[in-house]
Amino acid sequence: MTFGSRLLDAAATRGRLCVGIDPHASLLEAWGLEDSVVGLAEFSRRCVEAFADTAALVKPQVAFYERYGSAGFKVLEATLAALREAGCLTVADAKRGDIGSTMAGYADAWLGEDSPLRADAVTVSPYLGVGALAPVLDLAEATGGGVFVLAATSNPEAVVLQNHAGQDGRTIAQQVVDECAARNAAHEGPGNVGVVVGATLEQAPDLSRLNGPVLMPGVGAQGGSAEDVARIARGVEKLAFPNISRAVLGAGPRVGDLRDAVVSAAAEFPGR
């Protein structure tokens, strides 16, 4: 099965919600945990317990593990493994992007079947050219892993760059989406290559031909709504997976409250 098909299957029973695991220092403090590897591990453990059987997709933010060095990566490895063992799909929010053998190394790190960091999907940056992402896109195609390519992000600094139009009138964001669509064209159902499109955007690329999942950050605390998701993904709503992090994590630190927050948020985005 493609990653897109697996994600739709998960959404059919859990809704189309992607929940972030973002253990930044202020949130660790708010949960009564110390800003250390010990606190990081406990935060992650509670998130796994709360999200593994409630969310369609769970997205650990790699940066918040990386800041602890090798000990942080060890916690991330354990977190990804625990979610995988529970049958929950994961996307490592690593935003990697490079060329040649370096990109192949990133591909092996995040999607390689024998990698301790293996996730079901990974986020990547296309700003060395979508073609430069070939090693990770090819590995995803070979293994049924997923790739989310940054196309039109929700941060205001990106708008001028991503909305810049080329000679054919297409914005850079649209060009990224179209190249990803070409990768998915061989699949009858949704393919392995998705894109990241912010839910707070006033002008978003056309997603109608993507035939892959759309990860939509910006819902909840950043101001995006279910109506925004429906507007941007009109016609392909079932492939749109809004990402909510702060609004769910703010319900912690109790596992039961986190679970309730996921179930409540997911109800706004049914998968059937």
Ranges of beta strands (E only) in 74-118 are 89-96
Q: How many CB atoms lie within 10 A of CB 248?
A: 30
24: three-class secondary structure by DSSP: coil
Three-point CA angle 97, 43, 219, nearest 5°? 60
Task: Judge whether 63 and 76 are in contact, CB under 8 Å.
Answer: no
Tokens of 56: 């369609």
* 3-28: b (≥16 Cβ within 10 Å) or e: bbbbbbebbeebbbbbbbbbbbeebb
Q: Tell me, what amino acid is at 121?
A: A
Q: Which of 59, 74, 95, 238 is catalytic?
A: 95
The residue with tokens 């060890």 is: 74
95 assigned to active site: yes
Angle, helices 255-266/37-51, rounded to nearest 10 degrees: 50
Strand residue runs (E) in the chain:
18-21, 57-60, 89-96, 121-124, 146-152, 193-197, 214-216, 240-244
Residues catalogued as catalytic: 95
